[in-house]
Amino acid sequence: MGGEQCMWGVCFVALDGNGQKFFGFSEFLAGLALMVLAWTIADVRYRFRVRTAPIPLQGITFAVVATVGMLTLLTDLWRAEQWLVPKGNLLSPASWQAILGGLFLLTFLTWTWFAFIRPPTYGRHNAERFAQTLYRFILKGSPVELSVIADELAYSARALVRYATDRGRLKNYRLERDDEKKKDPPKVEGYANDLLLLIADKRLCRSIVESSPGTALAVFQAMADMKKYGIQVETFAKNIVNEALANKDSFLYHEAEGYESGLIGYHKPLSQAMFSNYEMVETIGTLLDPDVYGKREWDATQWEAYCRVVLMTFSSYVKEGYGGHSFVLYRAKGHIENAASDLYTLNEFPSAWDTDSSRRLRVVIEFVKGAVKILDEKGVPDHVRIRVREKHGHPRETFYDHIASMIFEVIFHASAVRSPQWGCWTIQHNSVWGELFNFNHLDGPASKVVKFKVRRLLYDEIADMKRFPNFKGAKILGFCLNVMGLNVRQGDYDKDSRALQRAVLAWTRKNFVWLHGYNPRVAEACLVDGMTFDLENRRLVRTYPAEGLRREPSYIYFELDPAPLDFKGEA
């Protein structure tokens, strides 16, 4: 080619084909190969981070790489053909190569920054991309990928809680009218609300429980720190708890007691974050709601874990002085009191003590003792009424009444076990009555209030049979006769039940013959194995068979009053 050429005042010279070259098309290909290798071997974690960056990183990377590639190729062609370039010092061949190489390097460093150094979190600039990316991963449902995504969500937990809409406690009462609803929230707030519903997917919750409990910890800690309890985590909270209960290797089982789990057992980080704040638990409303069908399959270990977290919430409720009705704790009480509702299956079972039903019963009794102990530590408030009249009903009932009714229901379930004699005694006396009423158990001020209420519930149920003989009252009477006996004994170990025993025996002496004449089937339901009715001699007979060191059977007799003279028996 010729020398310098000028046109319209601009001079052009031929590009030196032997000039310095440090970033050409060959160097670009080598760098691109390394970049493609890095992109290829990157796992789902880094792909998720790149896709959720606050800038459209994938599109920008493709555009820059394609542009730099074409320009380096043209540059090498230009140099090889020694085509004309403008004359001057504004842009030399070396600076041109530096610009192209710098753009290529900057693209790689930006990708590396978001993928490895500073993972992106949910925010205003990536709300839509974050939601779309997470939606695709959850929709795919790969367990391996979800375990990674579950871990990545921990970085965005605080941001999601911060941007989400807090509806407060009023959300549980649905007080907002249609004409008072808010306008459409900002995009970042709307997507945050949607994402809190999206992460409630059971598959993702299962992955969080199995491999990333720190994500759940981050969500609930952020809620506690910001006091935003009314965000849309109801389904997420319920699924996390139910998946944790279903997985016996989850935090609910490792965060047990210190002597079992070491430091984690003492600190209980996740359990404390989720269950030790009563206001948060009540506002969320679903943390203590077990799966309706799943709880039917729970064994004693799972019920024990559930009772443990309920006690944590109940402790906060009592210590913080919340006096109103608690919907979550009342529902939890109902679930727990029915945990051993299948005790009737132990009839004729040779070893009732060593069954899951009996173990669940002991778990329920331990829960009752733990709840009463919490009330004892707080002391009996002045507003607690020893006896709530039926006409006053629910508004004046407190957790003293709820625990008493819970004990009553547990006694009713235990009363269904009628034989064999030793199995019946083991369940009714050793597992229930002896743990609550005998041997000075539950001897605090709150305990005495609860036990008074239980005694009143038991006697009222028995006395109501005079008005309407029924099998429930009959089973309760049979339970009382079995655990307290037919003779009033002197001693301190059963002093708490002596007044009830005298009242029950007095009612039985006066009404049993009448009850037998009115409905023999109901009267028969009052007698457990080893106890019979001697109609000829008008007495109840308790038989202790010859076993162990007892060479001959022994008998205890309880004399009964005759039926009223105007009684005509069954119609």
**DSSP letters of 418-452?**
--SHHHHHIIIIIIIIHHHTSTT-S-SHHHHHHHH
What pLDDT is recorded for position 361?
96
CA distance 48 to 52: 6
Q: Which of 391, 380, 384, 339 is nearest to 360 (CA)?
A: 339
CA distance 346 to 301: 19
**How are strands ordered across the β-sheet holding 84-86?**
5-7, 10-14, 84-86
What pLDDT is recorded for position 177?
43
**Residue 495: half-sphere exposure toward Cβ, Cα within 13 Å:** 9
Q: Which two tokens stand for residue 145?
A: 């990928």
CA distance 14 to 277: 78
- Residues in the chain with pLDDT values less than 50: 1, 177, 179-180, 391-392, 571
Tokens 């050793």 locate to 430
What pLDDT is recorded for position 390?
57
**How are strands ordered across the β-sheet holding 531-534?**
531-534, 539-544, 554-559
Overall size of the chain counted in residues = 571
Radius of gyration of the chain, Cα coordinates, nearest whole angstrom: 38
For residue 420, cis peptide bond before it (omega within 30 degrees of 0): yes
CA distance 285 to 276: 14
pLDDT tens, 539-569? 999 998 877 766 788 899 999 999 876 655 5
Q: What phi, psi does 420 have (nearest 5°)?
A: -70, 170
What pLDDT is recorded for position 305?
95
Q: In one letter, which amino acid is 28?
A: F
Q: Which two tokens stand for residue 202?
A: 């059971």
pLDDT tens, 289-348? 999 888 989 999 999 999 999 999 999 999 988 878 899 999 999 999 999 999 999 988
For the whole model, what pTM was predicted? 0.87
pLDDT tens, 63-98? 999 999 999 999 888 888 788 777 767 788 888 889
Q: Which two tokens stand for residue 291?
A: 């799966």
**Is 532 buried (19+), middle (13-18) or exposed (0-12) by CB count in 10 A?**
middle
What pLDDT is recorded for position 389?
60
Q: In one letter, which amino acid is 434?
A: G
Contacts of 206 (CB under 8 A, 6+ apart): 243, 247
**Residue 172: half-sphere exposure toward Cβ, Cα within 13 Å:** 17
Mean pLDDT of the chain: 88
Q: Give the residue extent of every domain in the chain.
A: 5-117
Q: Which two tokens stand for residue 529?
A: 């194995």
Q: Which H/E stretch holds residue 245?
A: helix 234-246
Q: Which two tokens stand for residue 424?
A: 């019946």
Task: Judge whether 87 and 11 are in contact, CB under 8 Å.
Answer: yes
pLDDT tens, 203-242? 999 999 999 999 999 999 999 999 999 999 999 999 999 9
